[in-house]
A and B are shown apart, each in its own frame.
Chain A
Amino acid sequence: MPAFGPPLASLFLSGVHDFASGEEPTHNEAQGLKSVPSLPVEYHVHRKCSNVAHVMLDICSTYRTTKTTKSGVNVMRILTVTVLLGLSTAAPSLADTADGASLVGQDWEAIVEMARGGEVNWFMWGGADNINIYVQDFVGTILMNEYGITLNQIPLADTVEAVNIVLGEKEAGNLDAGSVDMIWINGENFRTMKQGGLAWCGYTDRLPNNALVNWDNPVIANDFGVPVDSCEVPWNRAQFALAHDSATLPEPPRSIPELIEWIKANPGQFTYPAPPDFNGSVFIRHVFYYAAGGVDNLLGDFDQAKFDAAAEKTWAILNEIEPSLWREGATYPTSINQLNELFANTEVAFTFNYDPSQFGIAVDAGIYPDTVRSFGLVDGTIGNTNYTIIPFNSPNKAAALVLQNLLLSAEAQLEKARPEVWGTSPGIEMDRTDAAAQEAFAALPSHPSVISAAELGKAALPELQAGWISAIEQGWLANVGN
């Protein structure tokens, strides 16, 4: 891997937004980290797309998007954007707000006025109809009615396409008339944007609704281990939770050390999927954080010395509990589905998931008993956040700011949290919103088997950078799972 240059690195784990299917993004986001490198064909296409002459980049990305877009309208939109990009040099737009530095000096009312009558090109993964409908109908309507801004949603099959457009524009010297105004992003793509100087930073405190964001929460202040540094704005959250059957186990252990004791006292009733299963890997990271004495020391780039110290303790713990695991640890489930099956058949007492809504779905399907409940850990469980980002060369920064502010509003976050609309966790703290919004949020139908995001979010741990994650997985295979 060290032999590869930045373009490859950027697409390498680009999957954080590669929602291959129509599933809920928070879930897929999690899975995406693993799924992309397994697609050699995609890899070639990316490679081709990131290596052709810079001028070709737009065409390349447009082609890719066109190919994967269902609706012809969307194709037209992309073409329009591309054409507009070509025209924009000839006829400067009426409200060009490419100069971010002078924009942050303005007060909010002035920014809204500058944005009025303009448009904003939001590039986002477009594989789920419910999300597209929410963005176009709900967000788009408010944006037009209240601010006169036209929202152009450009659906992508993979977020890296948008990152590649911005990268290509920068390399081609297009520094203030880019075609991308905003991207739905997290993880590796954010790191690429930040490392490549492709993100516009230092503006988030200009947004009135920024007050609703809890930047003290490490899960929000760090995007897969990379500090956000005011370069993007949170939109949704996902967080790991465990599930147990309250009928047979009323009081589950609520921390990693308690869980370890419980496993030793109840041999054969706990196991976790072997990596590279994504959920098994997240479980091992919880033990790793515990062994390292907290996650604060692990944020940032991969550090071999820190890793070795924590890894040695982690393997010792996991090897110590191994004889008390299901099948005496002679074998591990190879996927989260196998663990779910064992849990459903009461062979083991726990299952877990990065997407706790899965527990409710399984109960409703009759796979788990009604008495299944889910819970977090007192020291916190690992969560991740996805964001919206504004490229450095967006010519419509004012409109993008208005859109970001709208997305952060209690109204928009509440609508998005409705199970029938999307059902995703808010990126803001709902208890910072007004009484009416809080009441409506509290009144949202919740599933008794699914722990509320608010409850879970009280103790949240950040994700690590990709280098750590693969080192932990490989270390586990060599030291525990052999």
Chain B
Amino acid sequence: MSDRMRIALLLAPAMTVIVVLFFGGLAVGVMRSFNWMPVIGLTEPNLDAYRAVLSDPDFLRSFGLTLYISITSTLISAVIAIAAALLLRQSFAGRGAINLLFQLNLTVPHIVGAIGVLYLFSQSGFFARMAFHIGLIARPAEFPALVFDPFAIGIILQYVWKEVPFIGVIVLAQMQALGTDYESVARSLGASRWQAFRHVLLPLILPGVLSASIIVFAFTFGAYEVPLLLGASHPQALPVLAYKTYTDVDLAARPEAMAMAVVIALLSALMIWAYLRATRARLRS
């Protein structure tokens, strides 16, 4: 057996799963999004579903909301993560314990985090109850709406809580690999602490921050469970809207649901491409 043959055989199980399940499902989804569903008599592919979806104000509002959630969550997470990494790379008493605490919620599933946000920040949650006991509010409705709210504060809170350690760990590893030599040189040549960070360290860690942020953006754009649990009834995040359309009693809505899913997939593909470019830039640096 030649080496190529052996490699092909060894890869076969994994590739079968990827090709058949992933690309198979993707292909069926794409076909249905083009209104091609012979089983219910749709045999002439067309772009009706895309036309309907892209001209639907509900879809556009959902798209805008999802974009807003992803961008805001990613930006806030990245800023806090860099700040945290700067602190954590210094040596201080109890650093090990703090480091562990910082990374602890990496293992907590998003859905658990979402329930936690609900219990803490809802109008009858932990903080609302505290506010009631110290006399700040008299009724649940007087507590600011932080979940199911139009600004998606609850959703963003959950993502920030979950993604700060993710970006932070990557950035911290990068900072530790770089060491402090470059910054020391800059400082010895008269740069302020801020200048040393802004012009020396930040450009060095930027590719890492970027690639981690792209992963976070792509994930939050396609995630379903957090906006489902913490989002308002209208507009809904794109994945929630897509699933709702998919489960509509009217089977004719299926192609539109698939068109939405394809839009989400396309955007994620774009993110993967951007991620690959960013990583290559990082390797070059």
A334 / chain B contacts, CB cutoff of 8 Å: 228, 231, 233
Any A CB within 8 A of the CB of B3: no
* Cβ proximity bits B259-272 to A, threshold 8 Å, 1 near / 0 not: 00000000000000
Contact A470:B250 (CB < 8 A) given known A331-B234, A346-B124: yes
B252 and A1 contact, CB distance less than 8 A: yes
A contacts with B: majority SS = loop
B251 and A482 contact, CB distance less than 8 A: no
B251 and A37 contact, CB distance less than 8 A: yes
A470 and B253 CA atoms in complex are apart in Å by: 13
* Cβ proximity bits B216-250 to A, threshold 8 Å, 1 near / 0 not: 00000000000010011110000000001011111
Number of interface residues of B (CB under 8 A): 27
A37 and B245 CA atoms in complex are apart in Å by: 11
B140 and A345 contact, CB distance less than 8 A: yes
* Cβ proximity bits A303-345 to B, threshold 8 Å, 1 near / 0 not: 0000000000000000000000011001111100000001001
The total of interchain contacts (Cβ-Cβ below 8 angstroms) comes to 68
A347 and B124 contact, CB distance less than 8 A: yes
Number of interface residues of A (CB under 8 A): 30
B251 / chain A contacts, CB cutoff of 8 Å: 1, 4, 8, 12, 37
* Cβ proximity bits A78-107 to B, threshold 8 Å, 1 near / 0 not: 000000000000000000000000000000
A470 and B252 CA atoms in complex are apart in Å by: 13
B124 / chain A contacts, CB cutoff of 8 Å: 342, 345-347
A268 and B234 contact, CB distance less than 8 A: no
User: Which of chain A's residues has its CB closest to B149's CB?
Assistant: A331
Contact A481:B234 (CB < 8 A) given known A345-B124, A347-B141: yes
Smallest beta-carbon distance B278→chain A, Å: 36
User: Which of chain A's residues has its CB closest to B140's CB?
Assistant: A347
Any B CB within 8 A of the CB of A148: no
A268 and B145 CA atoms in complex are apart in Å by: 13
A276 and B252 contact, CB distance less than 8 A: no
User: Which of chain B's residues has its CB closest to A326's CB?
Assistant: B141
B148 and A38 contact, CB distance less than 8 A: no
B246 / chain A contacts, CB cutoff of 8 Å: 38
B contacts with A: majority SS = loop
Any B CB within 8 A of the CB of A3: yes
Q: Which of B41, B123, B150, B234 contacts A3 (CB 8 A)?
A: B41
Smallest beta-carbon distance B248→chain A, Å: 7
Mark out the residues of chain B between 106 and 123 whose CB falls within 8 Å of any chain A CB in the assembled complex. 122-123
Any A CB within 8 A of the CB of B40: yes
A176 and B234 CA atoms in complex are apart in Å by: 54
13 contacts between A and B (CB under 8 A): A1-B251, A37-B247, A274-B233, A276-B244, A276-B247, A332-B233, A333-B148, A334-B228, A334-B233, A345-B122, A345-B124, A347-B123, A482-B234
Per CB-CB distance, the 9 closest pairs between chain A and chain B, nearest first, are A345-B124, A38-B247, A331-B232, A332-B233, A274-B233, A268-B141, A347-B140, A331-B148, A331-B233
